[in-house]
Structure 1
Amino acid sequence: MQKANMVTKTGSQPKRTPAGLPGKWELFRRDIKRDKHLYILLSPYMLLFFLFTVFPVMISIFFSFTNFNMLEFPEWVGWENYSKLLWNDDVFLIGLKNTIVFSVITGPISYIACFVFAWLINELNPKVRAFMTLIFFAPSISGNVFFIWQIIFSGDSYGIMNGFLMKIGIIYEPILWLQNPKYMLAIIMLVQLWLSLGTSFLAFIAGLQTVDRTLYEAGSIDGVQNRWQELWYITLPSMRPQLMFGAVIQITASLAVAEVATALAGFPSVQYGAHTIVTHLMDYGTIRFEMGYASAIATVLFSLMLGSNLLVQKLLKRVGE
């Protein structure tokens, strides 16, 4: 009788691991029950996030395996879009090469520049810091600032760059900067770097402001001897969330470049010299309305962004080691 009661009591208890601790699902259930009010408050955001972010991505991935022109019902074609994209679409390969070159150069430079300028400005007094933050952040929030660069790199003798080079005798006739594939991608990189001190820059300044100052005192006791050691062992590890956020922003901006390219080099650009993955996506998605093929392009771009973010996340975990 006692043995039966023991079995009954044991059966009513939660499932436990061999060490006598509750299982993962039991802990998960307890956490949900304990924090149910938090989940209720989060539910409107999560609903909107899944409805307008996760669900469209899943739909796009599905359409990438179909032939869909928005007029007829989607026709399943399997891997045909990806095969055409990687083996038969020379324009896409040009856009892929330009995007990779653009992101490899501008991504790290803009990321480091955002942190370095934020680090230097953070050392100023509050009033000067606020003014300098506005000065550096202003280009990224301005409206159509591309006309400034169009004047600088205008293809006639009235362009600032042509006029300057002709005046000092380096060239003797104007150069069509934004119509020559030899120069246009480099100019677009320069403009993108000029615009790159945006959200990441502000996130880094905010992260630097939240670093606990007592950590520097503790670090000096533990053997931290100079500013570079403070930066590596104290400052950077203390602002990992801001570093990750800035990395996501910069990776997205460098891989999804399109506005600068179309504003300066036109759409399509001469000999596709400034063609990118996003401009190729715009071509098939908003002009030709080949949504299945456009979805395949978007999926490739999404995979590049996801892989880059995962790689950067692993690298940031090594900061301070």
Structure 2
Amino acid sequence: MRISSKKDRGHWLLLSPYLVLFIVFIALPVAVAIYLSFTYFNAIEKPKWIGIQNYITLITRDTLFMQKVLPNTIKYALIVGVGGYILSFILAWLVAQLTRIPRTIFALIIYSPSLTAGVTMSVIWRVLFNGDQQGYLNALLLKLGIIDKPIQWLQSPQHLMDIMILVSLWSSMGVGFLAMLAGILNVDEQLYEAAYIDGIKNRLQEIIYVTIPAMKPQMLFGAVMSIVNTFTSAGIGVALSGSNPTPQYAGQLIVNHIEDYGFLRYEMGYAAALSVVLLLIIWFFSRIAWRLFGERD
């Protein structure tokens, strides 16, 4: 019994740094946000308890959230989150078919945009979609005679969301892509041999019945990272358009809405309610990912 007690203490000692960081940077901020979501707080006066009024306002009075922000976020999440996730797997599978040196080179090329997205957003994309005739896209379309005057791509409500999606997909091959690549490369070759003996006839069946089931942990990790990154994306629309809110709220996502109320209007209580809603949305989709790829007892 004494030995078991010492082992238990040793476990808690090893876990203590993580537990301290988890409590200080995750559990405590979440608890404070939940509390503030039930208050009126303007960052100057003491928080005033108002119950569920912020959530009632969110559902019944915040027409901007219901008509613009939420639809924008759902559209962005479905295309960038789901599309980027599928694209990550396809590219990872294609790269895995190469030999070691070309595989390493292509993996670095595909992964590097996720590291340099902030820099390239201002250096490349804003130049490419510049609204005057010197912008690369406008210059090309004017030269081809497709348009007769420059288009304000980044200030246009009709085009901003599409450009946001394009840029996000371009920079979405991050650690999820690397995890999938590692998972594919570590699938036991004997599984493929056994599958072909059992009746597998082509590469598509090989992917569905062997590759994906054998790398579920990596698929789950990639799904969770894709969900979190997609729903917490905020800077892209603001960085491209140069303003928050974005032009006619065309690129406004939930995190932009939180920043708008929290740091521009100083309605911290309502911003906290929005952040709790965002947390619940992320948790809901993470549970779906767990049901699809999580290990079952």
1:256 aligns with 2:229: no
1:247 aligns with 2:220: no
Displacement of 1:170 after TM fit? 1.3
Number of the residue aligned with 2:24:
51
RMSD of Structure 2 on Structure 1 (CA): 2.0
Task: Encode CA deviations 1:129-157: one digit per residue, 9 max, x unaligned.
Answer: 11111111111111411121111111111
Alignment of 1:181-220 (within 5 A): 181-220=157-196
Match of 2:154, as an amino acid? L
Match of 1:185, as an amino acid? M
- Alpha-carbon distance change, 169 to 34 in structure 1, aligned in 2, over 3 angstroms: farther
CA distance in 2, matches of 1:169, 1:253: 39
Number of the residue aligned with 1:71:
44
Query: What is the TM-score of this pair, normalised by structure 1?
Result: 0.85
1:96 aligns with 2:73: no
Structure 1 unaligned spans of 5+: 1-28
Match of 2:182, as an amino acid? A
Match of 1:269, as an amino acid? T
CA distance in 2, matches of 1:181, 1:236: 39
Displacement of 1:187 after TM fit? 0.7
Match of 1:146, as an amino acid? M
Structure 2 unaligned spans of 5+: none
Q: Which has the larger radius of gyration?
A: 1
1:302 aligns with 2:276: no
Number of the residue aligned with 1:226:
202
Task: Encode CA deviations 1:6-41: one digit per residue, 9 max, x unaligned.
Answer: xxxxxxxxxxxxxxxxxxxxxxx9xx8696344432
Displacement of 1:70 after TM fit? 2.6
Match of 1:79, as an amino acid? I
- Alpha-carbon distance change, 33 to 229 in structure 1, aligned in 2, over 3 angstroms: farther
Number of the residue aligned with 1:111:
85
Greater alpha carbon shift after TM alignment, 181-190 vs 48-57: 48-57
- Alpha-carbon distance change, 79 to 145 in structure 1, aligned in 2, over 3 angstroms: same
1:270 aligns with 2:244: no
Q: Give the secondary structure class of the aligned counterpart of 2:158.
A: helix
Displacement of 1:92 after TM fit? 2.2
Task: Encode CA deviations 1:247-284: one digit per residue, 9 max, x unaligned.
Answer: 11111122122111110022221111111110111112
Q: Give the secondary structure class of the aligned counterpart of 1:206.
A: helix
Displacement of 1:45 after TM fit? 0.8
1:281 aligns with 2:253: no
